[in-house]
């Protein structure tokens, strides 16, 4: 209780003290509160800031990681794309190369090839030159041939002329007109005349009777087309001296075709002619010209004529006539031949010779 009593004794003091003390505290309370708040706020601010800083650090780490992840992903993509594009570019260039080659090849092969065309045109122009040359050659040779023929013709003509003028040739005594003594050299004609054979006297040509001039009947036809006088008069008949008619006329009279009158044109000896014709007909139809004769003696000396087409040298064998004994006559016992077994029929062998002329061969 002492305590209580002490306390009670002191209560007044305490109360005073309490009051006093409270009032002092009250005096400082606001300041202190403010200061505390300040301190607290600062502290708390620091704390929060530290926390936030902490958080920021974490966030940065997270972001770093995330962004690096994203960045790597993007990078991967970029690389892929780049790789892909380069690859595609390469492929494209290669494809272009292939296409270029192929298209070039295809066009050259199937459509148009410049070098080929050039080559072709060159070949064509070469062919053209060759053809031109060949044709020129051809025409030249032809021309030359014609020229030659012409020259030959002229030469022939001149030869003929020379033969015709052969009498102008100079003799030992008298110089010819082509061999003038006042000139150094004789004319070339002189030499030609020397070479030429004089022309023989011309035989007056037998005038061909222009038989109604039938060759020109049809515009086109050859000389063979229509009839001329059928018998030609003999050539080279000389004119005989004397007061005779012109030989051509005479010959014409002599060889003129028979002009039968109308009366004569129809044959009067028809029967005779018919017989003749019949005979001829029969003759034509005979197979064998030889008369049939049954007698062996008439064919004795007949020689066998083999067919043209047979190749063997077949002929009638003389078997039975000679070869019954040894062929060598020295070995024969007697030199005589064999007697034929039967003597011939006289009657037959003499047939036609003794009794009558029937069956005789003319």
Partner 1 sequence: MSQRQVLQVFEQYQKARTQFVQMVAELATRPQNIETLQNAGVMSLLRPLLLDVVPTIQQTAALALGRLANYNDDLAEAVVKGDILPQLVYSLAEQNRFYKKAAAFVLRAVGKHSPQLAQAIVDCGALDTLVICLEDFDPGVKEAAAWALGYIARHNAELSQAVVDAGAVPLLVLCIQEPEIALKRIAASALSDISKHSPELAQTVVDAGAIAHLAQMILNPDAKLKRQILSALSQIAKHSVDLAEMVVEAEIFPVVLTCLKDKDEYVKKNASTLIREVAKHTPELSQLIVNAGGVAAVIDCIGSCKGNIRLPGIMMLGYVAAHSENLAMAVIISKGVPQLSVCLSEEPEDHIKAAAAWALGQIGRHTPEHARAVAVTNTLPVLLSLYMSTESSEDLQVKSKKAIKNILQKCTYLPALEPFLYDAPPNILKHVVGQFSKVLPHDSKARRLFVTSGGLKKVQEIRAEPGSLLQEYINSINNCYPEEIVRYYSPGYSDTLLQRVDSYQPLIK
The site for partner 1 (CB under 8 A) is made up of 117, 120-121, 124-125, 127-132, 134-135, 138-139, 142, 212, 217-218, 220-222, 224-227, 261-263
- Min CB(260)–partner 1 separation in Å: 10
How far apart CA 166 and CA 196 sit, in angstroms, is: 7
Helix (H/G/I), strand (E/B), else coil: 243 = coil
- Closer residue to partner 1, CB minimum distance, 108 or 132: 132
- Residue 247 near residue 205 (C-beta atoms within 8 A): no
Query: 327 is written with which tokens?
Result: 């062929």
- Residue 214 near residue 228 (C-beta atoms within 8 A): yes
- Min CB(261)–partner 1 separation in Å: 6
- Closer residue to partner 1, CB minimum distance, 126 or 276: 126
- Closer residue to partner 1, CB minimum distance, 163 or 228: 228
- Closer residue to partner 1, CB minimum distance, 263 or 324: 263
How far apart CA 107 and CA 101 sit, in angstroms, is: 10
Among 159, 169, 173, 163, CA closest to 190: 169
Helix (H/G/I), strand (E/B), else coil: 182 = coil
Residue labelled with tokens 């017989």: 275
- Min CB(227)–partner 1 separation in Å: 6
- Closer residue to partner 1, CB minimum distance, 129 or 246: 129
Residue 25: partners with Cβ closer than 8 Å, 6 or more residues away: none
- Closer residue to partner 1, CB minimum distance, 24 or 121: 121
- Min CB(358)–partner 1 separation in Å: 47
- Min CB(125)–partner 1 separation in Å: 5
- Min CB(153)–partner 1 separation in Å: 17
Q: What is the DSSP letter of 324?
A: T
């Amino acid at each position: 209780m002492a305590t209580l009593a002490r306390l009670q004794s002191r209560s007044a003091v305490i109360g005073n003290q309490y009051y006093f003390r409270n009032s002092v505290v009250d005096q400082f309370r606001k300041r202190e509160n403010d200061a505390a708040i300040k301190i607290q706020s600062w502290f708390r601010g620091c704390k929060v800031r530290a926390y936030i800083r902490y958080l920021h650090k974490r966030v940065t780490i997270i972001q770093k990681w995330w962004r690096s992840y994203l960045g790597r992903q993007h990078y991967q993509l970029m690389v892929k794309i780049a790789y892909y594009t380069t690859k595609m570019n390469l492929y494209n260039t290669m494809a272009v190369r292939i296409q270029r080659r192929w298209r070039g090849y295809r066009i050259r092969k199937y459509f148009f090839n410049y070098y080929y065309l050039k080559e072709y045109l060159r070949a064509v122009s070469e062919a053209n030159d060759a053809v031109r040359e060949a044709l020129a050659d051809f025409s030249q040779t032809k021309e030359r041939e014609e020229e030659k023929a012409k020259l030959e013709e002229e030469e022939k003509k001149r030869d003929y002329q020379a033969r015709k003028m052969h009498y102008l040739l100079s003799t030992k005594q008298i110089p010819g007109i082509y061999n003038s003594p006042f000139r150094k050299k004789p004319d070339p004609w002189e030499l030609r005349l020397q070479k030429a054979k004089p022309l023989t006297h011309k035989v007056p040509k037998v005038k061909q009777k222009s038989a109604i001039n039938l060759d020109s009947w049809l515009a086109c036809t050859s000389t063979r087309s229509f009839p001329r006088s059928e018998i030609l008069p003999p050539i080279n008949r000389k004119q005989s001296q004397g007061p005779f008619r012109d030989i051509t006329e005479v010959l014409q009279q002599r060889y003129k075709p028979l002009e039968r009158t109308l009366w004569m044109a129809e044959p009067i000896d028809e029967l005779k002619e018919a017989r003749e014709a019949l005979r001829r007909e029969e003759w034509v139809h005979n197979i064998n010209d030889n008369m049939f004769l049954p007698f062996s003696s008439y064919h004795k000396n007949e020689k066998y004529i083999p067919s043209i087409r047979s190749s063997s040298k077949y002929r009638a064998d003389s078997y039975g006539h000679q070869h019954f004994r040894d062929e060598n006559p020295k070995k024969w016992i007697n030199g005589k031949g064999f007697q034929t077994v039967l003597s011939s029929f006289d009657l037959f062998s003499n047939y036609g010779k003794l009794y009558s002329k029937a069956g005789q061969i003319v």
